[in-house]
Structure 1
Amino acid sequence: MYEFVKGKVQYIHPEYIVIENNGIGYQIITPNPFSYTKDFGQETTIYTYTYVREDILALYGFGSREEKLLFTKLLSVTGIGPKGALAILASGEPSQVVQAIENEDEAFLIKFPGVGKKTARQMILDLKGKLPDILPDYFPNLLNSDQHEAVEAKHEGFEEAILALLALGYSEREIKKISPKLKVENLTTDEYIRKGLQLLLKT
């Protein structure tokens, strides 16, 4: 809904900050509100994620697009909601979280509030192998410039294929089941779609 909010930090609460933009104060829940103390009264940019449920409408904010993207990926893990994802980002650097998932470091992950062994294992199962593609900045030693371009092309083709499968009438639940098998391939959009259809017919 909102990609980002740019304005002055007008208020800092233990759970959120208020950004004033054109006379409107946006209450934005952030991982570490007091980290914006240095920006108080100054203009800053917060990358936002709008969370909507039947009884909840909340705006979550992050200092970078990468942190926001990691938040959304954590939300996709069974057993992790907005509060849990926020607690993970508040307690550790995004790069540490990403590396722990890639290294299958359950001992590190269970240190976060609300994360037990079952949730840590689920994080690894759902996200391992996917984060370097979408968060290459956290893996500077893994990709050179040519590989970055290849990763971006692969990611774009995969996302376009997913949208095409949704347009064909398949549910998000059905597509989520085949996504891990599909994501490991290095295909064109057309090939992703054909491979996806083959997998869907088998489920």
Structure 2
Amino acid sequence: MIAYIKGQLAFILDESIIVDVGGIGYEIVCPNPFIYQNSLQKELFIFTYHHVREDNQTLYGFKDEEEKYLFTKLISVSGIGPRSAVAILGNADVNEFITAIEQEDEKYLTKFPGVGKKTARQIILDLKGKLTAVFSMEETTTTVSPTSSAHISEAKEALKALGYTDKEINHVMSQLKKENITETDELIRKALALFVKN
């Protein structure tokens, strides 16, 4: 699974962006490709979901972990594929969307591409009560500046490669976020020190 990509943003297309990583161009389908306009020809960090089928492999990209998480929940709903989920994210305000699910507002949900009454009802059945706790938790624990979120994700992936579990990593990261560290190497060093201490 490709969790994220960091490289130079080479092109912006109607439905995707091309990120150059070491001379290889990765096409990444995004809900709103043009939000990256200011990053053209600059280094870009983007969260990704690697969707694999027998006849196709597609990378989907997201501006933050919150958007990626909602995408993974949407594609778990019967009747919603990755393309439909991306179309929903491209037209939805996350907070409004979750509120509509919690309030069982089918009319709001059916305004999105590919979502009829049956699919709207399925979204409510499958996701009601499963999103609010996660998103409120993220809002209260995220105390670092936006520029450091990429470093945190890089550090998490490095620690996973070293064999630490998500639970262990999230525990130490919640402590390190308070220190507002913005360098990946420093985050990893301090995390390893906390693992030894704990």
**TM-score, with length taken from structure 2:** 0.68
Q: CA deviation at 1:34?
A: 1.3
Secondary structure, aligned partner of 2:2? coil
Contact 2:3 2:50 in 1 (8 A): no
1:146-169 CA-partner distances (Å, limit 9, x unpaired): xxxxxxxxxx6xxxxxxxxxxxxx
Q: CA deviation at 1:35?
A: 1.4
Contact 2:8 2:42 in 1 (8 A): yes
Contact 2:46 2:61 in 1 (8 A): yes
Tell whether 2:35 aligns with 1:69.
no
The residue number in structure 1 matching 2:8 is 8
Q: CA deviation at 1:14?
A: 0.3
Tell whether 2:24 aligns with 1:24.
yes
Give the root-mean-square deviation of aligned CA atoms.
Answer: 1.9
Bigger mean CA offset, 68-77 vs 98-107: 98-107
Displaced runs of 4 or more, over 6 A: none
Tell whether 2:136 aligns with 1:136.
yes
Whole-angstrom CA distance in 2 between matches of 1:120 and 1:138: 26
The residue number in structure 2 matching 1:107 is 107
Whole-angstrom CA distance in 1 between matches of 2:11 and 2:95: 28
Whole-angstrom CA distance in 1 between matches of 2:118 and 2:136: 27
The residue number in structure 1 matching 2:123 is 123
**TM-score, with length taken from structure 1:** 0.66
The residue number in structure 1 matching 2:156 is none
Structure 2 matches for 1:36-185, cutoff 5 A?
36-136=36-136
Bigger mean CA offset, 20-29 vs 66-75: 20-29
Whole-angstrom CA distance in 2 between matches of 1:123 and 1:95: 15
Q: CA deviation at 1:134?
A: 2.5
Whole-angstrom CA distance in 2 between matches of 1:117 and 1:23: 45
Paired residues, number: 143
Whole-angstrom CA distance in 1 between matches of 2:60 and 2:35: 15
Contact 1:95 1:138 in 2 (8 A): no
Identity of aligned residues (%): 51
